[in-house]
């Protein structure tokens, strides 16, 4: 935990994580500050990088992306140029929501969304299998999302 954050900063961050569109007036009431003091704190939290961005979280089901797949990828080599080429190419695949360089059996773990299993098969064949350096792919389909949040503990 960062010791530059006091209890009020933490309350502000907790509220904003769950209600990013809250007005400054309402936020100031919720955290028991004057609107001007609250605004100054939010600006400071943004400037110091505690607040990285503001986004709208979309409903994947409403957009027809009902299938979530976790894809483990092993590369043919661990050379920097292979890793760089893979990372650069995977950034261009919009269905990949997350890409993590891993320690362990797989080199990368991807979180991928698709319309259904047929759509994922197309994506697998056309895009994932053709990423630079890919030697092996293992896919696991999510059957049910038990917990999903973007809120970090503060």
Distances (CA, A) of 30 to 11, 21, 27, 96: 8, 14, 5, 36
What are the structure tokens assigned to 61, written together? 């089901």
Angstrom distance (rounded) from CA 53 to CA 32: 24
Q: What mean pLDDT is reported for the chain?
A: 96
Domains along the chain with CATH numbers:
7-47 (1.10.10.10), 67-141 (3.30.70.920)
Helix (H) or strand (E) segment spanning residue 31: none
For residue 4, what pLDDT band results from cuts at 50, 70 and 90? confident
- In tens, the pLDDT along 63-89 reads 999 999 999 999 999 999 999 999 999
Distances (CA, A) of 47 to 32, 41, 70: 22, 10, 34
- Residues near 98 by beta carbon (within 8 Å), at least 6 away in sequence: 109, 110, 111
Percent of the chain at pLDDT above 90?
A: 97
What are the structure tokens assigned to 141, written together? 């389909």
- In tens, the pLDDT along 17-73 reads 999 999 999 999 999 999 999 999 999 999 999 999 999 999 999 999 999 999 999
Over residues 137-148, the mean pLDDT reads: 97
Angstrom distance (rounded) from CA 140 to CA 134: 17
Per-residue pLDDT at 3: 64
For residue 2, what pLDDT band results from cuts at 50, 70 and 90? low
């Amino acid at each position: 935990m960062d010791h530059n954050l006091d209890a009020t900063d933490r309350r502000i961050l907790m509220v904003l994580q769950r209600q990013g569109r809250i007005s400054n007036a309402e936020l100031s009431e919720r955290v028991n500050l004057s609107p001007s003091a609250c605004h100054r704190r939010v600006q400071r939290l943004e400037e110091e990088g505690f607040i990285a961005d503001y986004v709208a979280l979309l409903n994947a089901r409403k957009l027809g992306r009902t299938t979530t797949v976790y894809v483990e990828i092993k590369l043919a080599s661990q050379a920097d140029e292979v890793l760089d080429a893979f990372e650069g190419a995977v950034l261009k695949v919009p269905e990949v929501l997350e890409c993590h360089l891993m320690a362990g059996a797989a080199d990368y773990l991807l979180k991928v969304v698709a319309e259904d299993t047929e759509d994922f098969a197309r994506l697998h064949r056309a895009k994932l299998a053709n990423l630079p350096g890919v030697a092996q792919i293992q896919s696991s389909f999510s059957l049910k999302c038990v917990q999903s949040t973007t809120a970090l503990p503060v």
